[in-house]
Amino acid sequence: MYDLRPQCTIALRSRSCWPEHGLKFSKKATGTSSVCRADVHSLGVDSGFDHSKLLDTQKLNHFPRHYELTRKDLMVKNLKRAKKLLEKEGRASDYDFFPQTYVLPLEHGIFVEEFRRNPGITWIMKPCGRAQGRGIFLLDKLSQVSGWRKQIDEKEKPETYVVSRYLDHPLLLGGRKFDLRIYVLVLSYVPLIVYLHRSGFCRFSSSRYTTDKANMKNLYMHLTNVAIQKKNDKYDENTGMKWPISKLKQYLLSKHGLAATSKLFGDIQLVVTRSLLAVQQVVTQDKHCFELYGYDILVDEALKPWLIVHCAEVNASPSLSTDTTADHQLKWGLVEDALGLVDVEGKLEGQLPLSFGGFDLIWEGCAPVQPHPTLPSMLGTHIPGRR
């Protein structure tokens, strides 16, 4: 396995005017140009970190209150609020990219009522404070929720979960379920400035998918998390159970045609911008901050993209560890491109390029940006100068 963290350090050192102290997070960051790498838990509103001490040329890799998008229960709250506001304009369908979801134990009673109104439907539960597929389970009986409820009632501070209606008709490739990992760079929240990277990959399950409820406990079938799949004997170490998004796009073009494929990738881009708009007013803007998000998107058999809190979500610190040569090349290019756009050296002179490396500007200020005259999204297209 490759680990890109030391290579990030090399990439930073190779840049002009780059002091060594800028490579670590410090509450007393000083110097000329630096990127301070902050832990995701160290920049909350109560962290005590004084951003006013930072120079204009110093950057942090997280915004204060970034967790409004990346913590599952808060993301659901913000998406629901945005959807409700648009109901008055008749545009609630703009936010139909996440399934019916409840936060437990807070909304336990409402969830039970919904469960009883729709018996036989499969739901999926996930703890908000855990990652890599830990603690996830599927359920189709209220007794399973009651058993869980009894366990958390015995704790002094119950763990928060989200429970979502399970999408049981995903798009399959080779009979296997998959989701997409794509990368989004936010340079500012006010005004909102968003770049989407053209590269990304599909993450596959290692077991063939079926709707047979006898397989509800088979997480190798239902989840695509690499940490889960690695435990399966069917895991393919040569591919890492991954496939480039560019290959997926070629497959979809051959099977579904240009119009349907272009619409799907354009809709994925809309999921990104609309989710960011939903949290724009609650994430604290700071000129010293930027954010590289890892979005996980699920596509259903009707070619509709979904942002789902149980297996697809928004990651504040997407993994830069790699399993294959292709994965290494993708993430190395991603880091180089992101650092170039963060631009602590001032090479861009305050300008926002329409495209930079593999990144394309998709939102600036109050309006979307279309880098290509006919394609609704450049996601999955060729990156100039890359193999």
What is the full per-residue pLDDT of the chain (387 aa) written as tens digits? 444 555 565 556 555 555 544 444 344 444 555 666 655 544 444 455 666 677 777 889 999 999 999 999 999 999 999 999 999 899 999 999 999 999 998 999 999 999 999 988 999 998 887 777 788 899 998 888 876 666 666 666 778 899 999 999 999 999 999 999 999 999 999 999 999 999 999 999 999 999 898 888 988 899 888 888 888 888 888 888 899 999 999 999 999 999 999 999 999 999 999 999 999 999 999 999 999 999 999 999 999 999 976 555 788 888 888 778 888 899 999 999 999 999 988 899 889 999 999 999 999 999 999 888 899 999 999 998 776
pTM of the complete model beyond 0.85: yes
Pairing status of strand 367-368 against strand 359-365: antiparallel
Q: Are 384 and 371 in contact (CB under 8 A)?
A: no
User: Is residue 124 classed exposed, middle or buried when 0-12, 13-18 and 19+ CB atoms within 10 A define those classes?
Assistant: buried
| Sequence-separated (6 or more) residues with CB below 8 Å from residue 135 | 126, 127, 161
Bridge partners, residue 165, by sequence: 123
Q: Are 176 and 204 in contact (CB under 8 A)?
A: yes
CA-CA distance, 209 to 166, in Å (whole number)? 14
pLDDT of residue 128: 86
Bridge partners, residue 243, by sequence: 202
Sign of CA dihedral 68, 24, 351, 50: positive
CA-CA distance, 387 to 204, in Å (whole number)? 23
316-325 burial, b if ≥16 CB within 10 A, otherwise e?
Answer: bbbbbebbbe
Look over the chain and give the mean of its residue pLDDT values, rounded to a whole number: 85
Taking each continuous run of H as one helix and of E as one strand, the counts in the chain are 9, 18
CA-CA distance, 304 to 282, in Å (whole number)? 28
Taking alpha carbons only, the member of 166, 168, 112, 114 closest to residue 144 is 112
H helical segments located in 91-241? 108-117, 142-153, 219-222, 226-229
pLDDT in tens, 258-281: 999 999 999 999 999 999 999 999
Take residue 83 and report the two structure tokens written for it.
């959807």
